[in-house]
Amino acid sequence: MDKIWIKCIYHTLGMNNDVSNYIINSDDRWNDVHCNRDYNIYTQPNYYIMHYSFDIINNPQKKGHIVRWNNIISNLFISDEHKEKLWNIYFESRKKYNVLSRFVNRCKYKSISVKVSHDLNMEEIKLNPYTSTIIFQDGALYYFTISDLIKICESSLGFCDEFFSEAYLPKNPYTNKEFSYPILYRIYKAIRFSNYKIPFLMEMFYRSNFDIELFKFSNDVFIREHCIKSFVKNGSCEEHYQYIQEMLEMQCFDELFDFNCDFPESVIVDALKPYMFMYIIYRYSLRTAERKNDYLILLKRSLIEFKQANPTFGRNITKLERIFDYDIKKWVKQTKSVMITNFIETNVKLPKFNELVPDIIIKTGNVFGNILNY
């Protein structure tokens, strides 16, 4: 498609198809084009736009097209009048390219069979611009619901191992092949104009020009926060219990609770899960030391309040009760050990993820402010 885009530029400059093909396919552009009078009449008066097209031919990576154009249009040695002319050529050629692309896509969609027309829950998809979209990949059409695409993108962009980012490009779940740049842009556009709110990580991925390495480098803080949120929401009971144990082994909490080895882990998780969230933020987030210390103070205060509201929670209490012994036919006293598993929930307000983001950007000062510029 790069050659088609360049041909649209050349057509806007008044070149016919033979001239365009000659310039595009030239192996020695200096002698064949610049030193050739028949073709120099096109390149000389349109030096900057021709240089832009040559740069695309030599380096066809689409993710760099915008950067190359911005370098030309921001050149201080180009007059405002000439910049306006360049913009007119750019918009006119882009308009032709978009019309041609839409026509080609319509032809493809009519001639290609649909390979997958059901969602990930095996339910038939009814095409609707606000809830579903079509993706063309490897010569086949795939129907996707917007909700499935959001899950696919969030799981790949927010993938972590022990809260360390291992983000990777979203893939087609039916072929396990990575989505290309045009497909990613189509997905972003479909989500943007759907009935769904676009995920924060997908927005930051778009601002990183769908460059996965740049995305991980620029948004490590947000990815870590997303991982924490996802772990607290979807982690297993065993995983949560591991971090709660780690929290209670801190020096300031080691004497606050003393759970018996037989005490149910699920009860401990249910009771202390909100406090585990604050501990993970303090221990594993990438916020500033000041913000993390605030969460540690909040954690100490909240756990003390919980202990005051539930002073016997976790204890084994021995009760003395009378039972009738039928062997000796009389009432006898017997001790019974009882675990205190009931607890009163204290009022702990946990911030949602959309509240965590401004907490990182605004409350921590300008440390991460430059991230929003991507």
pLDDT, tens digit (0-9, with 9 covering 90-100), for 52-89: 888 777 776 555 677 778 888 888 888 888 889 889 98
Residue 202 structural domain: 116-218
Q: Say if 20 falls within a structural domain.
A: yes
Looking at the predicted structure, is the pLDDT value of residue 203 above 50?
yes
Same domain, yes or no, for 229 and 364?
yes
Same domain, yes or no: 301 and 198:
no
pLDDT at residue 152 greater than cutoff 90: yes
pLDDT band at 143 (very low <50, low <70, confident <90, very high): very high
Per-residue confidence (pLDDT) for residue 349, from 0 to 100: 63
Q: Report strand pairing: 316-325 vs 330-339.
A: antiparallel
Alpha-carbon gap, residue 154 to 163, rounded angstroms: 15
Task: State the pLDDT confidence band at 337, using cuts at 50, 70 and 90.
Answer: confident
Does 331 map to a domain? no
Contacts for 167 with CB less than 8 Å, ≥ 6 apart: 156, 157, 158, 159, 212, 215, 216, 223
Q: Report the residue count for the chain.
A: 374
Task: Find all residues with CB under 8 Å of 229, minimum gap 6, and list them.
Answer: 353, 356
Please check whether residues 96 and 65 belong to one and the same domain.
yes
Q: Are residues 244 and 368 in the same domain?
A: yes
13 plus 85 within the same structural domain? yes
For position 370, what pLDDT does the model report?
35
State how far the alpha carbon of 345 is from the alpha carbons of 245, 267, 273, in Å.
Answer: 19, 12, 11
Regarding whether 156 and 247 lie in a shared domain, the answer is no
14 and 147 in a common domain:
no
Looking at the structure, tell me whether residues 184 and 143 fall in a common domain: yes
Residues 231, 142: one domain?
Answer: no
Residue of 361 and 171 predicted with greater confidence: 171
Q: Are residues 46 and 7 in the same domain?
A: yes
Q: Identify whether 206 is part of a domain.
A: yes
Do residues 353 and 292 both lie within one domain? yes
Torsion sign across C-alpha atoms 227, 232, 233, 238: positive
pLDDT at 369 exceeding the cut of 60: no
Of the listed ranges 92-96, 205-209, 321-325, the one predicted with least confidence: 321-325
191 and 198 Cβ atoms separated by less than 8 Å = yes
Given a contact cutoff of 8 angstroms between Cβ atoms, the answer to whether 267 and 341 are in contact is yes
Tell whether 327 is covered by a domain: no
Does residue 321 fall inside a structural domain? no
Same domain for 185 and 135: yes
